[in-house]
Structure 1
Amino acid sequence: MKVTMSKLLKYLAAGVVRYWLMHTDYWQTISNRVEIATPLNSWKRLTEGVYLYDHDVNPYEGDAFHESPIMLIVFHFLMKKVPYLLPLIFTIIDLITAHLLYKTAKSFVAMFKDAQESAKDEVAEESKGMLLQDSDLAEVPNYVLSVYLFNPYSVLNCVGMTTTVVQNVLVTGALWSAAGSQQVLACLCLALATHQALYPVLLIVPISLLLADMKKGCNKCSYIRTLLIFVLCWGFLTYISAFIMDGSYDYLNNTYGLILTIPNLKPNIGLFWYFFTEMFEHFRLLFICAFQINALALYIIPLTLRFKKEPVLLATVLIALSTIFRSYPCVGDVGFYLALLPLWKHLFSFMQQKFIVGCAFIITSALGPTVWHLWIYSGSANANFFFGVTLSFATAQIFLITDLLFAYIKREFTLKHGTSRDIDGRPAKLVLR
């Protein structure tokens, strides 16, 4: 009963904070911050697109609106019928995301423990103290829940009423469905997230692996079936969107086209805007291809080959990498994958960069708004200052992900070979000569 009451209080406190901030004088400032709102997810652009659609003007003819037609129809209905409930709706969606993350974490930790029990005979005797305990089954999901509910990045993302809130709940729904062997629902949620933001398409690989593991089969038919269902769902959503726009597929230029070609160079916390502002035009296509290959294709094959037996870790890393290297990232994307890190609590003792990464996150989060004010309002700085902060922020995230991967490999080695390091029966030591 105490645990249940504690969870309810967390949901209530997080919901009240979000809802209260949406009704303060700071809401407009928060919703327009470059760290929170991008051309792809901005609430201001969403309302403008709905206004144009309501006045029989194609919102995709200009550069104002970049959401999918399905999102356009949904929010057109909400703004017309229940505009006063929109802050509450965004708050509830974010709380649903947190709850689904909690349920997903419970399923994943149970999977980790089952896999550990089946491989217990291969663990060195002196390393058995490092194995997951029964207490982790309750602790880890609670950590995941708390990190998402009270992470400032997640809170500000919800308060800014960005459509990243919707993307997060869809990605969480896909992971939760896959953990429960619900193949069609997982593919549908992932297709909806991909239809909105494209980069979640990377998750089809770990979700296929996860579904195959849950069904106790790793045959090719399982992978092909998952991929086929996903493609059919994605294709159907594309067709529905075209039907909404009177049979025209021109909207693709302002949705996927914006994501892939980066025509809008408004500063954000990503890496694309500065490079393409400074770049000579005749090099643009080359670097667009290079940047998008890095974000969409470069890491998926080697990471899948190395971590195919750990689809949850693979999903976590791919979500993080797509956040760092996507064309229009925001703090809501960062807050989402940070909430997945407590799943790997058993790796924290093997991570060496925790303090450095933590300090970098705090410093860059404080310096970003400061440098932005100096650049835009005071005129005492320039774009190089702000980009330096965003570059440091991206570097800290890369350190975090590489540290997590190395920690997994170290723990895997230690479980098998033990903690002692002996050579010819004597303790090993490193001697510099």
Structure 2
Amino acid sequence: MKNQIIYFALAGILRIFLMNSDLHNIIRDRIEVSTALNSWKRITEGVYLYNIGVDPYIGDLFHETPLGLIIFDSIQKHFSFYGLWLLFVIIDLITAYLLGITAKYYIKELIAYDEKNTPYVDKVNIHQDFASITATHGASTFYVSAAYLYNPYVIFNCVGLTTTVFTNFLLSLTLLSMVKHSKIICCLCIAFLTLQGFYPICLIIPGAICIIQNVKTNEKPESLLKIFILFSTILISLFFTSYFVMGNWSFLQNTIGFTLLVPDLRPNVGLYWYFFTEMFEHFRSLFIASFQINVSILFVVPLALRLHKNPMLLAFSYLAIDTIFKSYPCIGDVGFYLSLLPLWRHLFRHMQQGFFVGCFILFCTIFAPTVWHQWIYSRSANANFYFGVSLAFAIAQIFLLTDILFANVKREFAVQHGIMNQANGNKAKLLLE
């Protein structure tokens, strides 16, 4: 416990140090960190317009929800400049703590599930191969928390004062409510996230599966229906509350509409900006629909059918897909789901592309600012170079997700059929073809 307090304190000090350094302004203005959806500059301008009686949703400046507008207005009124920095750091530390608690409960459930669903003769092998990396609850808690606290992507988003810090907090609270089977908190958090960015609506599926795990089989359909009704009620209530705050529905165009229609094509770490810049305008509606179906609908049902027994891995998959294919991603989104990787330590031995993916992500992280400088400042490159790095970054994330999902299939096979470490006296490795 004492060591964890030290690690949390060091992470907080590191963030505060960077905020007080010359790097703060550089990080804040990086396109990989700040986007049209999470920029604190836009928040400040939107709050100012609201306070002088101008609708902040007129034009293309402010894209937070009306509820977010009220919250951020209160923050700016009650927190000084340095108090604002401290608030962002504290929220980030709380997020890491919540993720650590989530890891603790999830690992307990994973071990209980293995013991319940593994043949008796294989339990010894299961414990020999997996107990050392899944049964250490404290270690798992520390690894997940540390992966968030010291992830450069997460640190940059906190130092850059982006609203992704608050989004990550809500996501961590969602995951914790899932493993704690808290129906109201889970539905409330997902509803808030959906109101802001739409894509997290898919998290209600793993959330509902988690909540009804302890319900009797004959009562599960009824419980599932109640959860979806509760979620729909909360979401509709939030929409109408937002309407009463603004007095009109103009916020829809600049929140969910902005996310789905992608009118802002400034570069970011995503794939939309370059594609829709180069595309003929009369094809825009077709490809907008194709892109959005890909990220929000296409993978939802197949993954839910395949991973319904492991809703946390299902939630992780949805988060990764949303981050890769969403319209305005930032590295803070990537950093959040990468921080969950220690949850799948028991799958690492079955993964085959870890080194490849790690090198690609490291290469893209270093090369993206270099190419951006060559394009914008030196003018010795063009948009194709930066998009090439963004595309490689997305491909690396796709390979990471598919590798984890295939590793999960291999582990399920090993658990059900016994783990064979040797074949003909030599070390063996399980491959899927």
Partner of 2:129: 130
**TM (normalized to structure 2)?**
0.94
SS at match of 2:336: helix
Q: Give the letter aligned to residue 405 of structure 2.
A: L
Partner of 1:97: 95
Partner of 1:178: 178
TM alignment of 1:237-316, pairs within 5 A: 237-246=238-247, 248-316=248-316
C-alpha separation in 1, matches of 2:3 and 2:69: 37
Partner of 1:226: 227
**What's the CA shift for 1:127?**
3.9
**Counterpart contact for 2:96–2:148, Cα < 8 Å:** yes
**Counterpart contact for 1:102–1:144, Cα < 8 Å:** yes
Partner of 2:340: 340
Q: Give the letter aligned to residue 117 of structure 1.
A: E
**Counterpart contact for 1:116–1:131, Cα < 8 Å:** no
Mean Cα deviation higher: 409-418 or 392-401:
409-418
**What's the CA shift for 1:22?**
1.5
Q: Give the letter aligned to residue 341 of structure 1.
A: L
Q: Give the letter aligned to residue 7 of structure 1.
A: Q
C-alpha separation in 2, matches of 1:142 and 1:258: 38
Deviation string for 1:261-302 (max 9, x for gaps)? 000001000011110000000100000000000010000101
Q: Give the letter aligned to residue 303 of structure 2.
A: L
Deviation string for 1:312-340 (max 9, x for gaps)? 11011111111000000000100000111
Cα 1:320–1:115 shift into 2, 3 Å: same
**What's the CA shift for 1:166?**
0.7
Please state if 1:328 is matched with 2:328: yes
**Counterpart contact for 1:210–1:311, Cα < 8 Å:** yes
**What's the CA shift for 1:118?**
0.9
Q: Give the letter aligned to residue 70 of structure 1.
A: L
**What's the CA shift for 1:231?**
1.1
Q: Give the letter aligned to residue 361 of structure 2.
A: F
**What's the CA shift for 1:117?**
1.4
Aligned residues: 425
**Counterpart contact for 1:126–1:418, Cα < 8 Å:** no
- Unmatched runs of 5 consecutive residues or more in structure 1: none
Cα 1:104–1:422 shift into 2, 3 Å: closer
**What's the CA shift for 1:384?**
0.2
Q: Give the letter aligned to residue 212 of structure 1.
A: I
Deviation string for 1:361-415 (max 9, x for gaps)? 1000000011001001111100000000000000000000000000010111122
**What's the CA shift for 1:233?**
1.1
C-alpha separation in 1, matches of 2:54 and 2:428: 74
C-alpha separation in 1, matches of 2:370 and 2:120: 52
Deviation string for 1:202-261 (max 9, x for gaps)? 100000000011445571111111111111111111111111102x01110000111000
C-alpha separation in 1, matches of 2:237 and 2:21: 40
**Counterpart contact for 2:118–2:415, Cα < 8 Å:** no
Mean Cα deviation higher: 274-283 or 119-128:
119-128
**What's the CA shift for 1:110?**
0.5
Q: Give the letter aligned to residue 399 of structure 1.
A: F
C-alpha separation in 1, matches of 2:422 and 2:136: 32
**What's the CA shift for 1:419?**
4.0
- Unmatched runs of 5 consecutive residues or more in structure 2: none
Mean Cα deviation higher: 265-274 or 134-143:
134-143
**Counterpart contact for 2:115–2:123, Cα < 8 Å:** no
C-alpha separation in 2, matches of 1:208 and 1:122: 31
Q: Give the letter aligned to residue 362 of structure 1.
A: L
C-alpha separation in 2, matches of 1:408 and 1:415: 10
Partner of 1:64: 61
Q: Give the letter aligned to residue 185 of structure 2.
A: L
**TM (normalized to structure 1)?**
0.94
**Counterpart contact for 2:148–2:154, Cα < 8 Å:** yes
Cα 1:421–1:359 shift into 2, 3 Å: closer
Mean Cα deviation higher: 286-295 or 227-236:
227-236
Q: Identity rate of aligned residues, in percent?
A: 47
Partner of 2:21: 24
**Counterpart contact for 1:300–1:318, Cα < 8 Å:** yes
**Counterpart contact for 1:154–1:336, Cα < 8 Å:** yes
Partner of 1:364: 364
**Counterpart contact for 2:66–2:246, Cα < 8 Å:** yes
TM alignment of 1:38-57, pairs within 5 A: 38-57=35-54
SS at match of 2:119: helix
**Counterpart contact for 2:304–2:314, Cα < 8 Å:** yes
SS at match of 1:213: coil
C-alpha separation in 2, matches of 1:421 and 1:145: 32
SS at match of 2:32: coil
Root-mean-square deviation (CA, aligned residues, Å) is 2.1
Partner of 1:14: 11
TM alignment of 1:100-179, pairs within 5 A: 100-121=98-119, 124=122, 127-128=125-126, 129-133=128-132, 135-179=135-179
**Counterpart contact for 1:158–1:165, Cα < 8 Å:** yes
C-alpha separation in 1, matches of 2:216 and 2:357: 38
Partner of 1:374: 374
**What's the CA shift for 1:136?**
2.5
C-alpha separation in 2, matches of 1:46 and 1:415: 50
